Amino acid sequence: MAPINTIDWIGMVGPYVVFFGMLIVYYVWEGKREQRLRKRYTEERHGE
Amino acid sequence: MASDAIAGSASVWVLGTFAVYLLVLIGIGLYTSRFMDSVGDYVIGGRQIGPVVTGFSERASEMSGWLTLGVPADAYGTGIMAFLNGLGMIPADLFSWAAIAKRLRKYTELVRSVTLPTFFAHRLGDDTGRVKGVSAVVLMLFEGGYVGAQIVAAGTLLQILTGIEPLVGIVVGGVIVIGYTFLGGYFAVAWSDYFQGTIILMAFIVLPIIAFIDIGLPFEALAQNGSSLTSITAGATGWAAAFGIISYAAIGLGVPGNPHIMVRFMGIDRVKNVRLAALVAQLFMFVAYIGAAFVGLYALAVFGGGTIENGDAVMPMLTLNLLPDVLAGIVLAAALAAMMSSADSQLLVATSAVVEDVYHGFFDRDATQAQLVRYSRYVTLGLGVASVAFAVLARNTPIYTLVLDYAWGGLGAAIGPTIIATLWWKRVTAEGSIASMIVGTVTMILWTQLPTVLEAVGLMPAESAGFWYGLVTVYGLFPAFVLSVLTLVIVSLFTSPPDGVDERFATFDKPLSAVLSEDDSPEYATDGGAVAASTASDPKVITEADNVRNHVAAVAAENTTVDAGQPAVTGEHHEHADLSVFPPAITREMVTNESTGRVIAVAYPHRVYETETDVDRPFMSSYTDDHVVSVDCSRRLAVRADMIPETGGQTVSDVIVLPSELDQRQADEKARSQAFKWTLRTSVLADVPETEITRVVDAYKLYWVVERPSGAVIIDSIQGTERTLDGCELHS
């Protein structure tokens, strides 16, 4: 018998997989957000 | 017993390397301290810390005690459920990077705060000292808990290496920590945390790999030691399992309230680095949490379950067992150095909270420097001794629990909700924040003792009671955080928030680059040094925009230039004035194009000092703490600068020259007083240090008042930051 059943495997590995996905989403989203803010700020600043 | 087989039998190579590593570290620390400005410069590093170091050190500051010894011990005791230590921590850390880091960085830049108590006081508009006082007491209590836990950890390491009694190990560990702090904390040089953190992280990678090569995955061995060890709920079901998982997840609630993490956020240098630093910190966490859990699991596989009485010993024991002697000595020495470095800075944080924020800020605003120096020594010693006593009393409590219950959780419940609210909720009030801190602290302390108390009075629910048993034994941070948040919201809604919050929140919607300088090293950057709070000349206002508003008189004066319908800026208006100025990075021409009206210059008188503070150290040669203090003579503020800027004579047109509100003697005194405070925060001083002013530069800093379609703004000509001037309109 396998020492760890499927649910325990999922409980052990699952959160880290999800968190890794969240990290990638954050990294991409934060970059775009900063770009967007910078663009909007530049436009406001120059009254365009 | 397996522990006896190893404890105290570390080979001469291990002990030799251990000793040599520590001696080399002290030597390097002593040598480099002659060239470094101060340990304090590292605290937020003049906001010049790069992304990798920022991200790494944000996490490495936790490598001492809890993660190094505590999490492996947890894994040794509970099995694979220890992987859930990352369940709350990793997403909470990501949330903090995403939702707190930039806002905190922007806001603390604006109000020039370097410590959380001063940030809270500014943001909540509290000039009574209550917010500062309560947050300082919270810091003192729980940073003291941290010091106690580090001392237990240091004692455990010494015990494993030399075989001395645990009690002796703790007392020796405590003496080392206190002595080390009094000697000046030589390990706390810039690269130290980073360096120790790297070594321990490498150990968490290498130890499981070596063990894997030897015995494969540990799960088979775990199953032989008990089926609960291979269960993600440690064999619990129903409510017990649910509350177990909640407890692990709730650890993450502590992230926003722990100052050593928030301080890293304040120190970030550039906009794009926030994202990269977050990435580094998160990857660090993945490796550290998985590695630490595997170290505990492999200890189970190698030594067998239940054979090691003190779970905190499993990491050093596995290190001694698997690594070559020399490497084991280095890893364990790095762990001890990291613990001492953390304990040293935690002891100093607690000391400055007591002496500066509570005593000086609250009870005796006229305390002399000699008194502050003397009391700092007493308080450091007193808190150190109290921490040793706490460590002795709690020596049988696992380090894991000690940190979570008496340090991490308390800070998380008391400070965390206020941090989040001050950055995200305009309605939060000083009263709400104070109530939340008190409720968070009290709940955390009481909940931790709840099972013991209920047991004593015979009211402890039986394990079979499911929900009630789970609730009583759940990690206290969960209920404490919830109650702290509820208190903060309810009390805030019944009280009035400070004025001017809208404007400051508007800053959050700008890119960080609009608030910070775009340059790598701005010519004249201030790092947000603590505002000088001399009673003789208290800082007048917080921001330049506030200052201009303060100069807007009720009656239009003859030399009116800025007009909001009726009011006008006082100060002397000149069509042309020959001034010594800090050359603007943002020139008048650059802002003229974007103005719909005329651009007016406002000149702020500054005196910038280069100071040398001689610090005597017991048993060691004295060292010199160099500072550059920039005194804004109009606002009566003293802040830290990176360097004395260049100055040059210029003819400035259409300029309002603001008057100095400090004479030369007062400005000198303010600079000396500020240099003293910075030094006091970073060292235990033997005597009042002499501060010599080695250079002074007088010059004006220019601000441009520019009219835009959306309203007037005032632009810092050096850093390019800008603030709105509500209600002011310029006449062309």
B536-584: pLDDT as tens digits: 334 433 344 444 544 443 222 333 344 433 334 456 778 888 999 988 8
Q: Are B616 and B675 in a shared domain?
A: yes
Q: Would you call B222 an interface residue with chain A, using a CB distance cutoff of 8 Å?
A: yes
Q: Which tokens hold the place of B453? A: 């108390």
CA nearest neighbour of B599 among B607, B587, B609: B587
Which carries the bigger pLDDT value, residue B365 or residue B730? Answer: B365
Whether B427 shows a pLDDT value over 90: the answer reads yes
Say yes or no: B711 contacts chain A, CB-CB below 8 A: no
Is B564 inside a domain boundary? yes
How far apart CA A34 and CA A41 sit, in angstroms, is 10
Q: Are the CB atoms for B514 and A41 separated by under 8 Å?
A: yes
Lowest mean pLDDT among A38-47, B136-145, B385-394, B575-584: A38-47
In this structure, are B373 and B277 located in the same domain? yes
Closest residue in B to A16 (Cα) is: B286
B86 and A CB contact within 8 Å: yes
Quick check: is B507 in a domain? no
Quick one: B218 and B135 in the same domain? yes
Tokens of B353: 């909270």
- The count of domains in chain B is 2
Closest partner CB to A8 (pick from B80, B274, B509): B80
Determine the pLDDT at residue B334.
83
Same domain, B437 and B546: no
Sign of CA dihedral B328, B333, B336, B337: negative
Are B94 and A31 inside 8 Å of each other by CB? no
**Any domain includes B678:** yes
Same domain, B609 and B542: yes
Which DSSP string do the residues of A1-48 spell out, in sequence order?
--SS-HHHHHHHHHHHHHHHHHHHHHHHHHHHHHHHHHHHHHHHHTT-
Give yes or no: residues B629 and B663 share one domain. Answer: yes
Cβ distance A47 to B709 less than 8 Å, yes or no, reads: yes
Q: Do A45 and B594 make contact, defined as CB atoms within 8 angstroms?
A: yes
Contact B713, B722 (CB under 8 A): yes
**pLDDT band with cut points at 50, 70 and 90 for residue B276:** confident
| Residue B93 contacts residue B325 (beta carbons within 8 Å) | no
> pLDDT, tens digit, for every residue of B151-186?
998 888 888 888 888 888 889 888 888 887 776 654
- Using the beta-carbon criterion (under 8 Å), do A8 and B232 form an inter-chain contact? yes
Residue B549's pLDDT is 47
Residue B645 contacts A, CB cutoff 8 Å: no
The verdict on A6 touching B (C-beta cutoff 8 Å) is no
Least reliable range by pLDDT among B140-144, B284-288, B319-323, B519-523 = B519-523
Is position B510 within any domain? no
CA distance, residue A14 to nearest chain B CA (Å): 10
Distance between B176 CA and the closest CA of chain A, angstroms: 38
Instruction: Indicate the residue of A22, A37, A46 with minimum beta-carbon distance to B91.
Output: A22
Nearest to B435 by CA among B480, B509, B487: B487
pLDDT at residue B5, as a whole number: 40
Q: Tell me how long chain B is.
A: 732
Query: The domain spanning residue B441 has which CATH number?
Result: 1.20.1730.10
* B418 and B485 co-located in one domain: yes
**The pLDDT value given to residue B42:** 35
Distance CA B137, CA A1 (A): 55
Domain that holds residue B105: 2-493
Please report residues of A whose CB lies closer than 8 A to that of B514: 38, 41
Task: Give dist(CA B385, CA B178) in Å, integer.
Answer: 8
Contact call for B232 and A44, based on CB within 8 A: no
Query: Nearest CA to CA, how far is B514 from chain A (Å)?
Result: 8
Tokens of B35: 């060239």
Q: Which of B24-33, B185-194, B291-300 has the highest mean pLDDT?
A: B291-300
- Per-residue model confidence (pLDDT) at position B555: 25
Which of B285-294, B344-353, B398-407 shows the lowest per-residue confidence on average (mean pLDDT)? B344-353
Contact yes or no for B338/B56 (Cβ under 8 A): no
| Contact yes or no for B330/B21 (Cβ under 8 A) | yes
* Element spanning B89, H or E: helix B85-95
| More confident: B523 or B620 | B620
- Identify whether residues B544 and B425 lie together within a single domain: no
Between CA B258 and CA B92 the distance in angstroms is 12
Retrieve residue B348's tokens: 């100093």
The identity of residue B557, as a single letter, is: A
**Cα-only R_g, chain A:** 21
- Does B565 share its domain with B629? yes
| Between residues B7 and B134, the one the model is more confident about | B134
Annotate B141-179 with b (16+ C-beta within 10 A) or e (fewer).
Answer: bbbbbbbbbbbbbbbbbbbbbbebebeebbbbbbebbbe
In a domain, B505, yes or no: no
Query: Which positions in chain B touch A38 (Cβ < 8 Å)?
Result: 511, 513-514
- To the nearest whole number, what is the mean pLDDT of chain B? 78
CB B601 within 8 A of CB B650: no
Residue B720 has pLDDT above 90, yes or no: no
User: Of B276, B274, B258, B280, which Cα lies nearest the Cα of B515?
Assistant: B274
**pLDDT of B6 over the 70 cut:** no
Q: Are residues B353 and B434 in the same domain?
A: yes
Which spans in B309-429 are helix H? 314-322, 325-352, 369-393, 399-403, 409-424
Q: Is residue B500 part of a domain?
A: no
What is the rounded average pLDDT of the residues B506-530?
A: 43
Residues of A in contact with B98 (CB under 8 A): 26, 30
Q: Do both B452 and B326 map to the same domain?
A: yes
Contacting A residues, span 7-26, partner chain B, CB-CB under 8 Å: 7-8, 11-12, 15-16, 19-20, 22-23, 26
The mean pLDDT of B322-343, rounded to a whole number, is: 84
Tell me how far apart the alpha carbons of residues B275 and B98 are, in angstroms, rounded to a whole number: 8
Q: Is the pLDDT of residue B447 over 90?
A: yes
Structural domain includes residue B590: yes
Contact A32/B at CB under 8 A? no
pLDDT for B30? 62
pLDDT > 70? residue B372: yes
- Is there a domain that residue B699 lies in? yes
DSSP state of B68: I
Residues 561-620 of B with CB under 8 A from A: 594, 596
Same domain, B373 and B433: yes
Which structure tokens are listed for B336?
């001890």
**What does the pLDDT look like over B658-695, one tens digit per residue?**
888 888 888 888 888 888 877 777 677 777 888 889 88
The string of pLDDT tens digits covering residues B36-86 is 443 333 333 334 456 666 676 666 666 678 889 999 999 999 999 999 999
